[in-house]
Structure 1
Amino acid sequence: MGHPTPLLIDATGRDIHGEAARIRARGPVTRVELPGEVEAWAVSSPELLKRLLTDPRVSKDPRQHWPRFIDGGITPDWPLFTWVAVQNMFTAYGGEHKRLRLLVSKAFTARRTAALQPRIEEITKELLDAVEEAGSRNELVDLREELCYPLPIRVISELFGLPEGNSQELRELVDRIFDTSAEPGEMNAAYERLIAVLGELVAAKRKSPGDDLTTGLIAARDEEGGTRLSEQELVDTLVLMISAGHETTVNLLDNAIHSLLTHPEQLAHVRSGRASWDDVVEETLRRDAPVASLPLRYAVEDLALGELGGPEGVVIRGGEPILAAYAAAGRDPGLHGADADVFDVTRADKEHLAFGYGMHHCLGAPLGRLEARIALPALFERFPSLELAAAAGDLGHVESFISNGHRRLPVRLG
């Protein structure tokens, strides 16, 4: 490969796109070192990534396919333990993954997502009212705090049938799970608490069912095998949906607003009808993947990458971990040309892997897109003179190499 020393991944995520460029510069796949001295193969070529994400010889289950995990070398004090040790659809493999996904998709249907539209519109209006009120009191309003954060957590809380008061705690717990620079104990404690909160929710819904996703998951049955989700699987599925469904949408909204405010000519394209809000959403997902890199997958057997259209002579050995480098793939010049770094809503091909690909493609993608398609036009119609109130370098970054978003998004409403 010409790069014997693995590229050290920065756990604080200070320079996600700089790091993505360094990963790409080493070729379609390269060795990296994750926090806690764990080495993995980072894959940044969109074509190779798609092939690996759909290859049955690539697993997400460390209990079956990662020798270091099986041998006890990966313990709960590893910073990313929660990300690989959860037992749900996210880490399931083969027939087990198929069973879980079937059961979850019976409850989390396109109809249930579409039915949320009026409620998302109402919540968006309430939040924009609050933004306007905050703007009348202060010169600056932090849109990440006042809009990007509360919208997805309120939507997901209502989708789950969670009591209103739980939103704030849920948000803080999910934040801690995504913070890859935190102490391992903090992430694990947050995960334990999240399990407890959602376990209480499942117990409550068993007693008094409602018209919500939790009740739907409890009722979901696999007609062929007659199986249902076990208690553990139910809670773990809700954990997956809240962590995958909240943080990603927060970052999608944040990055879209930031990109439009820093590229007024692109906003002009949308306002004049030369581009649509869908174009904004897809170009944001491509250029600023809400999940920059996702740990981990494992080779079930030796994979000769030349046979998969990758570099000849490179073999990922059975049991070696793989990191899906989505932020790097989204700006791949091989796919998107020399201007792959540029935010261009009129770009003809906005292909991206921001929601994953293949059997693990994100079930919540339609909901994330729906929230963005509702919130973005509503925001820019309500505040046509909106402007960013800080230089790019002053916005900070979420302390994570997984989650790709700003720490704050201060604006003047104008």
Structure 2
Amino acid sequence: MTQQQCPYAIDVSGADIHGEATALRARGRAARVELPEGVEAWWITDQELLKQLLTDPRVSRDTYQHWPAWQNGESGLAQTWSLAMWVSDRNMITAYGPDHRRLRKLVAKAFTARRTTALRSRIEEICTEVLDELSALDSQAREVPVDLRKHFAYPVPTHVICRLLGVPDSFRDDLLQVIHTMLATSTSAEDAKANETRLYELFNELVAVKRRSPGEDLTSELIAVRDEDGGVGLAERELVDTVLLMFTAGHETTVNLLDHAVYALLSHPDQLAALRAGEIPWEDAIEEVLRLQAPFANLPMRYAVEDIVLDDLTIARGEPIVVSFAAAGRDPKVHGATADAFDVTRPTRRDHVAFGHGVHHCLGAPLARLEAAIALPALFARFPGLALARPGEEPPPLESFISNGHRELPVLLGP
């Protein structure tokens, strides 16, 4: 690869995330790409390099400090870019250095091992409620296809995160809609901006409601931190963006995990049979799904704080970087010639970066794994005859190069 190579134009519709990853890997472990409005970036497909950059203090996610084109949010690009929401928020995942440590510390206590384990009974209750509703939905006609993403993969994580954050039922559908639009990366710049406005109206309103009527939930705890110290430890924008981050990452990643897990297992009945027989632990299947189908395929953006000189290229100060978790999960140097295949017995199934790496490793990863470990066995136990409605035909992907899931997952519940 040479740095003079013409940038690869990314398909923002996400029509073929893995095919695109293969094409970019052929250009080298880091390739020049073009995002909407002519924004150029480095696209990282190599797992070793990705890990190296995610632990390098010379790499930042703070757009305001380290992307010159952003001009502290005042440039024309900052005002009109269709992907602005992915780089403009102010929370632990986009903060750098001391700000990152400060914000992460505030959220970390919500995801301690003890607190996550304490949610088990509630997750089990939610799964039972969802499966009961699914049973009733198809009680009269078992041969009618049912969208399992809509009726299973989606409601389980959304109910869990709403419980954790204390989101009132009256807010849930509106919040989910604006997040769905934000994740649709082929949305026009005008529609993306309108959705951003509506999104912040809703999340500011949510914070206002929780400020008036606090409860035993994470949103109320963050508001208390903000109000009790006069905003010294947490600015209002940081508060709102932290709730936004946890709501988005706290449901969409798990929705995609459940979605892809069900599709992969129904497409590989021999492996599903081994899981049902107890020959293989469900946790192994979950890790293999995470490796093969990273819930967030690609994540913009990070920036070089200073020139980063590598053996085969130089990432110049201020240049944007996109890490491809989907490409890293199928890196043949890590997973061999069968990297594109689903195999729950794969020795390297746990060697993936689906939840990030380094200081920005997802705090909610244990919760997502717990939800999947409860929900998947419960689903297959309730519906032993579960089958794909269109076997051999993969459902259409989401219209996103970031969120990696299906638009629908039609299945037959069976007898």
Instruction: Report which stretch shifted further, 54-63 or 1-10.
Output: 1-10
Deviation at 1:76, TM superposition (A): 2.8
Equivalent position to 1:300, from 305, 310, 317: 305
Going from structure 1 to structure 2, the CA distance change for 1:298 and 1:192 (only over 3 Å counts) comes to same
The residue that corresponds to 2:368 in the other structure is 368
Going from structure 1 to structure 2, the CA distance change for 1:394 and 1:357 (only over 3 Å counts) comes to closer
Q: How does 1:344-355 map to 2 (within 5 A)?
A: 344-350=343-349, 351-355=351-355
The residue that corresponds to 1:309 in the other structure is none
The residue that corresponds to 2:17 in the other structure is 16
2:195 is the alignment partner of 1:194 = no
2:395 is the alignment partner of 1:395 = yes
Equivalent position to 2:153, from 148, 151, 157: 148
The residue that corresponds to 1:380 in the other structure is 380
2:90 is the alignment partner of 1:91 = no
The residue that corresponds to 2:183 in the other structure is 178
| Contact 2:171/2:206 (8 A) holds in 1 | no
Deviation at 1:227, TM superposition (A): 4.2
| Contact 1:62/1:84 (8 A) holds in 2 | yes
| Contact 1:103/1:228 (8 A) holds in 2 | no
Give the whole-Å Cα distance in 2 for the aligned partners of 1:162 and 1:244.
15
The residue that corresponds to 1:110 in the other structure is 113
Instruction: Report which stretch shifted further, 315-324 or 178-187.
Output: 178-187
TM-score for both structures, normalised by structure 1: 0.94
CA displacement, residues 364-399 of structure 1 (integer Å, 9 cap, x when unaligned)? 111111111111000001011100002554611100
CA RMSD of aligned residues (A): 2.0
CA displacement, residues 259-281 of structure 1 (integer Å, 9 cap, x when unaligned)? 00111111122122221111111
CA displacement, residues 50-108 of structure 1 (integer Å, 9 cap, x when unaligned)? 11001110011111111111171523321111101111112111111111111121344
Instruction: Report which stretch shifted further, 176-185 or 268-277.
Output: 268-277
Instruction: Report which stretch shifted further, 350-359 or 187-196.
Output: 187-196
| Contact 1:6/1:32 (8 A) holds in 2 | yes
Give the whole-Å Cα distance in 2 for the aligned partners of 1:44 and 1:392.
28
Going from structure 1 to structure 2, the CA distance change for 1:389 and 1:30 (only over 3 Å counts) comes to same
Going from structure 1 to structure 2, the CA distance change for 1:174 and 1:226 (only over 3 Å counts) comes to closer
Instruction: Report which stretch shifted further, 70-79 or 361-370.
Output: 70-79
2:275 is the alignment partner of 1:270 = yes
2:44 is the alignment partner of 1:43 = yes
Give the whole-Å Cα distance in 1 for the aligned partners of 2:191 and 2:156.
25
In structure 1, stretches of 5+ residues that fail to align are: 307-311
In structure 2, stretches of 5+ residues that fail to align are: none
Residue 214 of structure 2: SS of its match in structure 1?
coil
Residue 43 of structure 2: SS of its match in structure 1?
strand
Paired residues, number: 408
What amino acid does structure 2 have at the position aligned with 1:82?
M
CA displacement, residues 105-150 of structure 1 (integer Å, 9 cap, x when unaligned)? 1344333322221111111111111111122244111000101111
Q: How does 1:1-12 map to 2 (within 5 A)?
A: 1-2=1-2, 4-12=5-13
The residue that corresponds to 2:333 in the other structure is 334
What amino acid does structure 2 have at the position aligned with 1:132?
S
Give the whole-Å Cα distance in 2 for the aligned partners of 1:75 and 1:173.
20
Residue 322 of structure 2: SS of its match in structure 1?
strand
Structure 1's consecutive aligned runs of 4 or more residues displaced over 6 angstroms after TM superposition are 223-226
Residue 32 of structure 1: SS of its match in structure 2?
strand
Going from structure 1 to structure 2, the CA distance change for 1:175 and 1:343 (only over 3 Å counts) comes to same
Going from structure 1 to structure 2, the CA distance change for 1:411 and 1:267 (only over 3 Å counts) comes to same
Instruction: Report which stretch shifted further, 330-339 or 205-214.
Output: 205-214
Going from structure 1 to structure 2, the CA distance change for 1:392 and 1:61 (only over 3 Å counts) comes to farther
Q: How does 1:219-238 map to 2 (within 5 A)?
A: 219-220=224-225, 227-238=232-243
Deviation at 1:218, TM superposition (A): 2.4
Deviation at 1:340, TM superposition (A): 0.6
Give the whole-Å Cα distance in 1 for the aligned partners of 2:181 and 2:140.
30
What percentage of aligned pairs have identical amino acids? Answer: 56
Instruction: Report which stretch shifted further, 198-207 or 245-254.
Output: 198-207
Give the whole-Å Cα distance in 2 for the aligned partners of 1:106 and 1:220.
13
What amino acid does structure 2 have at the position aligned with 1:287?
L
Deviation at 1:217, TM superposition (A): 1.8
